[in-house]
Structure formats: structure tokens, C-alpha cells
Amino acid sequence: MTRVGGLSYGWVIVAAGMLMTCIAMGSMFSLAVFLQPMSEDTGWSRTGISTAMTIDFLAMGFSAFAWGAISDRHGARIVVLLGSLLLGLGLVLASRATSLLEFQLLFGLIIGMAAGAFYAPMMAVASGWFEHNRALAVALVSAGLGMGPLTVAPFARWLITNYDWRPAMLVVGVTAWILLIPAALLIRRPPVILEVNPPAPSVATPVAAIAPEPRMSAGEALRTPQFAALALAHFACCAAHSGPIFHMVAFAVGCGLPAMVAVSVYSLAGLSGLGGRLLLGVLSDRLGAKPVLVAGLVVQALGAGAYLFVRELGELYALSIVFGIAYGGVMPLYAILARDYFGAHIMGTMFGAISALASLGMAFGPWAGGWVFDTYASYSWLYIGSFSVGLAAVAVALTFKPVPAAAKLRAAT
């Protein structure tokens, strides 16, 4: 592995990936902080503003597959560089929007396309840099998603309090350019590891058992039941948690909390998601990714349903910790299962396709939460629906078959 000053360059990739996923997803999810002040200033409905987030996830989903395929062919650097340019552009233009439709298109389409350029390509390139500690590396890149609410959201709230929402969104966009473009230039392709002297088969192991099998093409992999199980589980998982996450600040304000305190509830969930990614990543190395994924999905479903019963600040903080650990911890496990089953050569394409389905799930929650609140002046039905969909994610995840024994043997040898 390439080393820089005694440090494996893979860890530089991981650090850059953490920064990029943090800023990209944090900027997109900062709409949760902008929701209430935008609605009060412009008169736009929460459903209308939340629809921009739905468009975000639809655009991110459709673009993630294309970005993943491009990164497999041309490398991740060009992909994340283009994503960095688009992200800042979308935020700057959206800050000047004069109508709800204009805002929905600018914030939704441009930022959604930009966000799709980071997660799947960076998860794929980071996994390629490591033979050991791969689960930890992938979990750390994914941890950037959890750092967004912890960093970008309070920064955006402070800007809104002092300068109003339009200057705040403009500054977030410019800051994204300043941080992301240099980080994108650090990205390199993972090294190709060649076995000059491969180990000879032991007497007890038949040669046929360790002979390399033909590698699946992306087209073949997309038709496997394993892809269907991972993609559908990720879809239901994200549909279950996206609504409660996006409307967490508005729900906390509705419980009588001041705006900055409500943001702290949201930030605590993000911090817990960061810890959950590390915790579940380490557990998956020891216990296997599938059982850890199933357990995390169970806790996530129960956490979503628990919002029906909490109102006090202490209760909200406690639930943010549990819910954040669960929804954050399961996210990198899909990438680990995808790489183990489909291999590194099509990782960008496959995880991009899985992420595309996940983004469709993420698209549903913000809009559904806004519609539920505008219709019933309460989020109760959102949490009932999230609990039900979360249980469906558990059921689908249980159908995923483990990595074939031959693949495990090749990895071991």
C-alpha cells in the first residue's frame, strides 16, 4: 500500500471521504434547519419546502448509479470534483430563489445530483485501499454522514439567527466549495494488489476448491437475489428513518423547545450515528455484517415508533442516542455486504445501484412527514408508518444469503 510520511495513503482517502460525505450530506440535510424560518419568512408550506428534499433524494438516487459506474471506469476523483462544484452551485443559487418551484428545482435537482457523487464512489474507493480494517475504513467514510448534523446544522442555525436564511445558505455553499474542492484533489485510485507467488494448495484442500471463479459482470450481479435483498432492505431502512430525521428539529420545536436546543437534539442524533457506525462496523468484523445489520434494523424500527411517546428534553436526548446509533450504524453494512458478495471490480456500480434504491426510500420520508403535519397538525402517523416500514426492512434483510463458501475461501487464501 502507498505510504505518505509513514502513513498508509488509504487513511488519507478515508479522511477525505469523511470530510466530503460530512459536508455534502450535512449541507443537504441542513434544509431541516432552514424549514421553519423559510416557511415563516416566505409563507411556503412545510410540505412544499420538504418536497425539495424529496427531489434531492430522487436526483441523488438516479445519479448515484451513474456516478458509481463512472468512478469504476474513470476513477473517483473526477466524480467527487464535479460533485463539489455542483453542490456549492446549488446552494448559492437556491439562496436567491424567489418562488417555491424555483427553490424546489434548484435545491432539489442540483444538490441532489451533487450528493450522489460522494457516498457510493467514496465507499467503493475506500474499500479498495484496504485488505485489513476494511469494515473500519468504510464505517469511517460513512461516519461523515453522521457528522453533518453535528457540524453543518449548528453552523447553519447560527448563520440563520444572525443573518437570516438567505445569507446563511449562501455562506454554506461558498464554504462547501472551499472545503470540498481541495479534498477532491487528494483522491487516488486504489493500488492493484498482485500475487507474485500465490500460496500452493495444501494436500487436504482440493485444487478445484481454490481455483478462481469467473467474475460476475455488473449485468449478472444486478439480476441476483442478493442484489434485490440488499437494495430492498436499504430502501425500506431509509424510508423508515428519513422522515423522523428530517422533521426532528420541527418536532422538537413543536414540543416547546427553543430553536437552538431543538437543533442540539438533531445534532446529538448525528453524533450518535457517528458512534453507531464505528460500533456496528467493529461488531460486523467480529460477528458478521448480516446479523449486526438485522439487529440494528430492529432497534431502528423500535426507535421510530418510540417518538409517539416522548415530549420532554431528556426523553428526546435519550431517544436521539438510541435512534442515531441504530440508523447510523446500519448504513455502512450494506457496502460491506455488497463488496464481500460482488467483489471490488464492480463495487462502484453495484453500491451505486443499491444507493439509488436507498435514495428513493429517503425521498419518501421528508415529503410524507410534511404532508402528515400539514394535514393533521401532528407527526404521529409519520412515526407509526416509520415503525411499520422499519419492520419490513428487518424482514427483507433476513432473506439475504451469506457470501458463498468459495468466495470466503478465496478471500482467506
Q: What's the average model confidence in pLDDT over 42-69? A: 83
In a domain, 200, yes or no: no
Give how far Cα 241 sits from Cα of 140, 301, 387, Å.
20, 8, 9
Q: Determine contact, residues 336/284, Cβ cutoff 8 Å.
A: yes
- pTM score, two decimals? 0.67
pLDDT at 217 over 80: no
Q: 3-class secondary structure for 293-319?
A: HHHHHHHHHHHHHHHHHCCCHHHHHHH
CATH code assigned at 36: 1.20.1250.20
Q: Is 8 helix (H, G, I), strand (E, B) or coil?
A: strand
Domain that holds residue 286: 3-190+220-412
Q: 270-282 pLDDT, tens per residue?
A: 788 878 887 887 7
Distance CA(309)–CA(133), nearest Å, equals: 40
Task: Pull the grid cell for residue 88.
Answer: 456549492
| pLDDT for position 192 | 61
Exposure b/e, 33-68, CB count within 10 A at least 16 = b:
bbbbbbbeebebebbbbbbbbbbbbbbbbebbbbbb
| Residue 307 pLDDT class (50, 70, 90 cuts) | very high
In a domain, 213, yes or no: no
Distance CA(359)–CA(14), nearest Å, equals: 23
Q: 124-171 pLDDT, tens per residue?
A: 788 777 777 777 777 788 777 767 767 888 899 899 989 989 999 999
Task: Pull the grid cell for residue 339.
Answer: 463488496
In a domain, 214, yes or no: no
In a domain, 60, yes or no: yes
| pLDDT for position 111 | 92
Task: Pull the grid cell for residue 148.
Answer: 453533518
In a domain, 210, yes or no: no
| Arithmetic mean of pLDDT over the chain | 82
Distance CA(345)–CA(215), nearest Å, equals: 9
Total domains, the chain: 1
Give how far Cα 15 sits from Cα of 8, 10, 183, 247, 334, Å.
12, 9, 9, 29, 20
Distance CA(229)–CA(303), nearest Å, equals: 23
Q: 174-204 pLDDT, tens per residue?
A: 999 999 999 999 988 877 654 444 444 444 4
Rg (CA), the chain: 21
CA 193 to chain centre: 28
Neighbours of 157 (CB within 10 A): 23
Distance CA(294)–CA(235), nearest Å, equals: 14
76-94 and 165-184 helices, crossing angle to 10°: 170
Strand 3-4 versus strand 7-8 pairing type: antiparallel
Q: Determine contact, residues 240/386, Cβ cutoff 8 Å.
A: yes
Q: 6-41 pLDDT, tens per residue?
A: 358 888 888 898 899 889 888 888 888 898 889 888
* Side chain identity at residue 400, one-letter code: F
In a domain, 40, yes or no: yes
| pLDDT for position 402 | 64
In a domain, 212, yes or no: no
- Least confident among 206-210, 215-219, 362-366: 206-210
In a domain, 198, yes or no: no
